[in-house]
Each structure stands twice: as C-alpha cells, then as structure tokens.
Structure 1
Amino acid sequence: MTRVVNLENYVIPLEEINRATENFSSQRFIGCGGFGKVYKGKLSERWENLTVAIKRLDHDSYQGEIEFRNELEMFSRFHHENIISFIGYCNESNEMIIVYKYAINGSIDYHLQDPDKRRSITWKHRLKICIGAARGLDYLHWGLKEHERVIHRDIKSANILLDENLVAKVCDFGLSKLGTKNQPNTQLYTNTKVAGTHFYLDPTYQESGILSKESDVYSFGVVLFEILSGMLVYSKRNMGDDRPRALMNFVRRYHENEPEKLIDPYIRDQIDSRSFNTFIQIAYQCISFSLKERPRTNTIIQRIEEALSIQENVDELIECVTTDRGFSHGIPVAAFTIYKCLLHWKYLEAEKTNIFERLIQIYISAIEVEDNTNHMAYWLSNASALLFLIQKSIKLDNTSLVQNPPPLASLTTGFHSSLFPAEAALNIVQQVDAKHPALLFRQQLATCVEKMYYMTCDKLKKELGPLLSHAPRTSFGEDTQSNHWKGIIGCLNTLKDNFVPPIIVQKIIPQVFSYMNMQLFNSVLVRRECCTFSYCEYVKAGLAELERVEYARPAWGELMHIRHAIQCMTMHHKYRLSYDEITIDLCPVLSIQQMYRISSLYWDDQFDTRSLSEDVISSMRMLMTQDFNNRSIILEDSFSIPFSVDDLSNSFQVENFANVKPAVQLATYPAFAFLYK
C-alpha cells in the first residue's frame, strides 16, 4: 500500500546537501543517469547520520522539472523492501535534488561490467536479485492503492541497486506513469514521445506509443538476460561466432537451440540445468513480441523462486557431498543421500544436466587433494556405495517398471527411526531408463572408484612406511612397543572404520601386507640393529597382534618372508638344527643368499647360545659359491591386485540400505525433507 506523506517534512536544505557532498566534489561523484549526476554523502545527526545517494538534476539533460516533480510525488509515497528508500529532497536556488538511501553495492550494471565483481555474484545470488527486483516491480503494478498502478517506464540494470546484502532496490521514477488498474490490461496513450532507454524499450510500445505494464515486463526480461549472461544489453561480445554481436541478437538466435550458450562463463559450472531451464523459460516469455504472452509479475516471481529452490537444493546436495556425514548401518550417508536426491529429482532420466559433472569434479578434487588415508578411505567408501546404487538402478532391459519417487515431505515432518523399513528394502533401489548423462556419470564414477582404490592402497603404504622404519628398539618398554603396533593396526583399521566395501579390503590388505613384508624383511636383511634377537621378538609380538585382526587373516601368506625369518631368529637352541631343518622346515621361502645374509648379520643381544651352528653357515657359504644366478636378496614391492567395479556387486546387497538414516542435521535442509518422511 502507498503511504500519504507531507513533503514539507522531507525538505533537506541546500546547505546540508552542500556539506554532505563537499559542494558536489568530484570525489563524491558515484554515477550519472538521464536525470543528472549522483553523489554519495553523509547527512548530519538531524538525519540520523545516514549515508545517502544525492541525485542532482542536470539542467542540460533531457529530463527537467516535470520529471523531478513526477518522481518526487511518486517516490515519496512508496514503501517496499525492494524500492529504494526515499529520504528527502531539495528544491532551492535553482537546484532540484532527490535524496535516497545509499545502496553500498551500486547498480546491477556496475557489477556486470566489472569482471571481478561479476565473478563474485553466484547464480544463486543472481536469482535472489531477480526475485527482489521482480517484487519491487510487482509492488508498482499491483501493490499501490486499490485503483492505482505505476508503470516504471525505465526498468534497466542501471536502475536496480543492490544494498549491503545484495537485496535489489528499484529506483529512478522520473519517467514513471501513474495509471489505473481497474482492468487487467490497462493501457496509456502517451501524449509525449516514447520514453525510456533504447536497448530496454518494448518494441510494441516503441511502435505504437501505447504504454502498458507489459512494457515494464519486457524491459525486465532484458535485465534477466543481462544477469544470466553477465553481458550488458548495449555491449557486444563474441560467443563463438564470426563477429561480435549485441546481447539480444544472441537471445533471439539461441531461443530454440543451445540457449545454454547465453550463460555467463563465470557461473557455467554452478548453474543447474533444471534451474536454468525454469529461469530461461520465464525470461523468454517476458520478451515475447505478444503482450498476451508476457507474464504477470507475480508469475515471474513464482517461476524464478522455483529456479532458486532447484538451485538451492542442488547446492545443498553438493555441500552434503563435501561434508563428512558419517555412516548409518555401515552405509555412507552422503552416498545414500545423493542417490535418493538424484532419483527423487529425476536426474537419472534427464536429457541434460550438469549436476553429474559437479559431483564428478568433487570426486576428482578429492583424488587430487586428499593426502590422508582416512579421508581417501571415506571417499572410496562413498563413491563405491553410490556406484553400486546407480548400477542397480539402470535398467538392463525395457521391461522393468519405473517406480514413482516418494512425494516431497514438509520440513515439519519428524525424523522417524523406521525410515525405509527392512520389508521395503526392494524399494530402496528404483529402476529407471537412464539417459546419456547418467550413463556417462556411471562410467566416470567407476573410473574415480578405480583411482581411489589404487590411491588408498598407496597412501596406506605411505603412512605405514615411517611406522615400520622407526620401530622401537630394546631401549623402549613393552608398552611402547605394543602401542607402536597398535598404531600400525590403527592405520589398517581406517578401511574398516570407513566401511570400505569388503571386496576392496580383501584386495588392498594383501598388497599392504606384501609391502609390510618387504619393509620388515629388508630391515632385518640390511640393518644390523634390526637383525637382533630383541628386535625379532618385537616383530614376532606385533605379528601375533596382527594375526588376531580378522579381516587380515586371508592375506597372512603375504608376510611369509618376515614370518619365516622371525621364526628362525627367535627360536631357542637353533644352533642344534641341521641345514635341512633350517632351510626346508623353518624358512622354505627364503633363498640361500637371504638366509646366509641373516645368519652372518645376526647377533644375539642377550645370549650367545641362539646363533646358527658353524656347520650350517659353512654349508650355506659353499652352496652360495655354486649358485651363479646372482639374484638380488632385497625384496621389491611389485605386488598389485587389479580392481574391477563389477566386484562391488559382491560387497553390497540392496537390503543393506533398508535402514539407512540420513544424518540428523540434514533435517535443516529443505532439499532433503523427503528423506525424513
């Protein structure tokens, strides 16, 4: 509703204006429009020390006293969050000045023509700006007195300001016209020439001189395309064509085909395809040559709010992916949430979408950045579970029935512990006719899982390396030695703690054990301080602890070299054993060269009665002279087990997901409300 004001209460003396602008100093100048120059100033305490924008009429401009009076009469009555706040005016000494609240972030066009500022405004911010500006326009068309409507007549990006929170504020009402809204299609026959800014002018109004609220809608549509493209309507740009063109040429050209070419490169990776489609549909309706096809402002608001809601949902999903959401019943919550959202929002069946690209980029970033075994195991677990769900959902033939996703629930719906009960397990995975983006995503995700598998294995070895190389010696107590092995086992447990699929664990552990075997055995083989009774006892105790780890038992054979060497070196009275008992019964896997090296290097740091006999050592020496193979006695880490994503089907069952619960904190996100139904 409009407010009735007494303009006498809003008079600001010229003396105050001069003080605030330092006599209209060039340092206070912030912009220029059809009305004149605009200055930034700070009023005195009488006006609450407000920072304001001071618009001074230029007597050489095409606007004059009529426009000044027109804007003043209208502007002073407006009261809306998305209309710039009127502070006062000055009409003194041939100066005509309007003062309004200063918008610290300037106008939209100011941001669009500055690459750094344009880059800082995300797609979500841009949608909110569009909604705010549309609400301001809706107020002018429908929110005034019962029989009044204001047609702005100069809607453009320069006349939409942004406050400190990037809230849009419509301004500049010098060309506005007041009409009636008794009829839905109110039209005004303008007695003067067509007014407005050329590039934003409604062609119908320009040709006929008949002004209607739909003329504002057309101009606003141009602003929508400016915000989408990051390109001002009067500038030219090359979009891959042979010559630069103005924005509206591209807009008309790409109406039917490839409208995504209009997207500002700075937001191309952010904008969701469904959000984009919703936005561009209403934007094209706004610039329709037919007045009847142009939407009402409330429809514009509704459609852009839908685009924002879609974008916020996707952004919240991305945030969910990048945050450790933990596990529920051994299943990664993030993976389950991603799958249910993709299913619910029908992205698996979408012809075009970039959400898969954004998800893959997150996984690729994790591969490139993460240098922590625990984090990599978490990503491996999540990517594996998601890949399993996606593979199970894609139809193998066209005979499967597509089940409808559950309806979106209200946020007021409580969190139920019976979410997805076991008897409904088969409904967790819903088969769909996946389109190309989903199929490509599955392929790319499989590649990521494969890379994560190898990297998890490598990082685990990297973390174990220092622990194996700097083992406690005899100077440390048993507690220290025990804690050291617990640290090694704890490192291995990162796979279990992150619920890495068993089939992957069964492939990683043998490779890690092979690496441990190499590290420990080579230490005994080449480092005298490690080829002692005490050190071998320490390793023996550690191996005993390791043997108790259930998931490690199938890979026990990969530790054979160190186990055999330790078994021999820690045996009492081994000097009584014959050559055959040593080489065939105790250490069959060790070569003569390796056994001789250990026997020569070994020293008993407690008793002298535990060394091999001289006869056994002599036999080894003699056999070594007859062996011309000259094989290296040092072990190398060359053991590798290939991984296939097809193996994942043996690690999960659909029923595993039956009782999975999203993280409780996700209840604050509207995007995930349906998960709590």
Structure 2
Amino acid sequence: MEIPLTDILSNTNNFAKTHLIRSGANGELYKAELDHFDSKKFLSFEKKNEGELPKKRSIVAIKRILNKEGEKRFHAEIEMLSNCKHPNIVSLLGFCEEDGHMILVYEHASNGSLDDYLGSTCNLTNLTWVQRIKICIDVARGLNYLHQKVDVELRMILFYIKSGNILLGENWEAKIAGFGLSKIHPEDQQLNALYTKEIAGIHVYLENETNIYSFGVVLFEVLSGRLANDPIYTIENSQGIGPIARRRFNEATVKDMIDPRLMEEIHGNFTTLNRGTNEDSMDAFLKIAYQCLTETPTHRLTPEVIVRKLEEALYIQENIKDHLKFSFEDIKEARPTTGEVLLQLKQALESQEDYEIWEPRLPNDYKEIIEMSNSREIYLTEKKKALYDILSNGILLQEGKTLLTLCDNGERNEMISAKTFSYINPSLHRWCSIPESRFQVVAEMLDILNLKIKINTRMQFLSPNVIYGVYLVFKFCDPRKISSKPLFSEVIELLPQQVFRINCKIENQMLSRDIEYVCYLVFKISKKCHGLHCPVKVRDLLHWSDEEAEILYFRTPRPWNLHDTNQAPKQRADGWMEVKAWKLNLNHEFKDDHFHVNLRLISYEGTMSGLIVCGLEFRPM
C-alpha cells in the first residue's frame, strides 16, 4: 500500500495549485490521477514476477499532512482503515512517509461531502427526499459495521460522525471518513462538530451512544438542510441543532425545521409536504432522529435498529409516491394512515398467495404428517407458506426419532435417529447432546474399531418411484486440548543461518489415512533475539512441482503486510507459539510403513538466529 513520493509529486505537478481541492491549518487536499494498489484483485504472494502487486490507475484524493501533531493520528488512520473493509467506509488506497512527508491516498468522492449541500445558497443541487434517506441509510450501515465488526480497540480510536466526514460518490453513495484525522477545513471556516469532545487536542468519541447522538445530529441536518452550527440555531442555543430539535419534537413543532425545499405553500397559511415527499416517511424519519438524541444514552437506538427503521421509511416513500396528506386534523382522523392501509393490503395479498401459491406446493398428506409431530397444535394454526418452510427445514416426527425434509422438487428426505439402532455391546457407546443435531441425543462411540451396530427400519415417508442413497451421518469428537505441561525435555535453538531444513519420518500408526492434516511448527523466540521480523518461505521438497510455497511469520506482522496466503503465529496454552507450516493428505503417501517429511524454510532477510524449535504438531483440519 506504500506509494513512492516520486509518483505523487509527478502526478500532482509537485503539489501544484491546479490540483488543490482545499487547504487548512492541518494540511492540504489534492485531486490527481494515480497508480495505486488494487485491493479488489487477488494474486498469490509468489508469482513469476516476484513481489509485483496488482495495480490500477484512477482519480484519487491525496491528503498531505503539514504539521507534526498529525503524526500519531496519521498512523492511527492507516491502521484503522487497513482493518475496515465496507462499501460505506472510505477506502485507503495507499500512503507515503518519505523525507518528512505524511501523505494518505483515498478513493475519490466525486460529489464532495455532505456538508457541501447543507446551508449552501451557491450550490444548485437540491437533494431529493429519497436521496437524503439513502445517504442516511449508507451512513447507518457503515456505523453499524464499525460498531459490530471492528475490534473495540479500533472503535475507540479517533472517529466521529458529522456531515463533513460523510463523502458522496458518483452515484451519491455515502462513505464515512475522518478516521484519525479531522477533515481539512478552510482557515476561516468553523467546524460544525459542536457535539464532539476533545481529548489531548484530538476529537474522539468514547462510547457507542455518543456516535449515535452525533448521527442524530446529522439526521436533523439532512432534514433541515442546515449545518448544526447554523446561526439560526446557535443564537437560540450555543450547542446548536441537537437540543433544539429535541425540544421542538417534544413540543410537536419539529416540522417547522423541515427544509423549505421539501415543502410547498398552499391556501396561504397552511404548509404541507410537496408531492415528492411522503408524510408517513417523514414522520418515521423524525422519530428515528429524535430517538438518537435522547438525553439518556442507553435509550438511544443501536446502529442495527437505525438501519432497519430507515429502510422502512424509504420503503414507505418509494411505494406510496402519489399519497398526499393535508394537515387538517379532522381529515387526518377520518381516514386510515398510509401504514394501516399498507398493512391491510399486505395481509390481503399474503392470504391470497397462501391458498393460490403455497397450498398446492404442500404434499397431499401434509395434515397426516403434522399429526405425527409433537407440536401439531401449533403447526395446524400456521399459514400454508409457514408450513412449507417448516417442512423444507425439516420436521421431527415419531417422538423426535425421525426428521422428514421436503425438497424443492417435492421429493422427500428422511433421517432416522441413532436411538432406533441396535447396539450389540451397549457399553461401547454413550448418549450425549450436541447443538448441531436436530435430534435430542446422539450416540458417541467409545471404540470406533468395534462398532457392532445393526440398523433395521422401515422408511414410510419417502417418495415412491425414486432411487435413494443411504448415508451415515457422523462427526469426529472435539480435538484434544493442548496440555499446559512441557512437551519435550530437549529443544533446539538455531544459530545464524538463512536456511533451516526439517527431514523426518512418522510411523503409519501415528496418523490416520484419508484425513487432511495441518502441520504446525511449535517454537519460541529467544529473549536476546531482536530479528525474525521478515517473512519465511516454506517449501515441501518431496512435492516441489505440486505445491506452492507457504509464507509464514515468526512475529506477528503489521495488518497491511498480512495476506490470505500468509500464516501468522498464534500463542498456545502451554506457553509456546505455533504457526501453520504445511498441510497434507495421507492418502497413498505411506512408504515402508512411514510417512516422510522434508521441508525447507528460507528467511527472506537476515538469519533465523534465536529461533527455539520444539517440534512439529499434526492436527486434523
């Protein structure tokens, strides 16, 4: 991901003003066409042109940091965005840290940022209500990803939601930016982040609920078409739009804040939403925005709920386009709401589909099948589509000893429980429950070399004139836990050498045939060792033409150096480290009743001095 400084200087004409988008006290933002790493394509680490990564050329945004105070946040943003991959999170395409320069390269947002369209009289673009909801949904999805998918440590570092950090792509898709570094603003422009905290000179959010409050502020900015620190709000309350919106919602005057471009004047003193905006959709949006601003943080909505509710508001808007409501209370009370009409239409459609579409897809004897289940009273009250889904997912019959499943083509599959088997020696098995099984109990065999099982059953639910296969469904027990006791009495510590070779053989009774194994190198690093940071290539010398080399690390690399094909070390319970070195299948691999291992490890840079090797461990995949 590191981009040479010469490439950046060449494509920006040495940071010429013709490429400058904006500048501020912290740095400058440029636009240029640049070659950069293409993260969407994947190539294996070792190809004929070794070390050559896939690239593409496109228009990018180049942020140049000009003050030393930004160095810590510069590295924080690289680490943050290297771990965040989501369509609604701005992508970091590369960085440069040469000759004192600190430069970040992002995907370019051709439509600027959201704050460019709020409170601007010179911007002729008027975002429609549908566009505004979709932008908010995109931001909510990105926020939900950050809260659910990213480690807590990363979520606590340097990100906050405000309209200036919401970028808009070519198709008006929204992406969250502003990780680790504040957006570059003109020196005479005041930040509209009135709802952020400042710690050590860096704006941060410490809790999820604070991000939700900030997102609620953005929702009201989108609704009103004004920035949070617009003078119309700061004159009334120095904290801006947040507390004002909350108070007006409680006073039922919040609709006075709606963007005039979403309204139209009728009958002199009465105002109503224009024909492009649905009032029920607007009401749903207002309720969501208010619930994000509640004074008690724990009462605020979660990002997941916000996404779902905003999607509902969009659904209402897009499906009731021609619906127009006046603000007369008597008319409003005399007719059902759009939501009620929509619900009634949906119920009528579902009822019609239930009998015309789903009932013919059920088997003719479905009632007799339901009667054999333990929950027949519940099943017989279900709609036909629900019954079809139940049968498709499988229904337990005959006191939970038979699982019947209906296939898409109408054919049936039947699974019988191990409870119906006959066991010649009952002491060789025991009953246990596992969450993966639909049956209440399964049989754990204590001696797989002496099963002695008889199966005598009658398949009464299968489809006639169909050829069936019979399968035994099983799984291996959980792998053994790693002991905390020392493994071996002696280990080896490598002297300075770039190549380390492992040549050994394993007796055939130690491993099982036809099972794919993973080979782990168990090791430690000497306390005196300060190297072993570079990747190490592992080559199977017995299968040189069939297998590609593995790439492993003895120390955990930085996130941007770790690819899917590379292996990182992991800590074991016994105090040692382990790293995946090889995988193998023992089918037809034994020679002279032994399995032969011949591996060669080559250090890319430096030696492997200080590596303490305990041995190899083979575990089934």
Shorter-chain TM-score above 0.5? no
Q: Which has the higher helix share?
A: 1
Structure with a larger share of its residues in strand: 2
TM-score, normalised via structure 2 length: 0.44
> Greater relative contact order (Cα 8 A, min sep 6): structure 1 or 2?
1
TM score, norm. by length of structure 1: 0.41
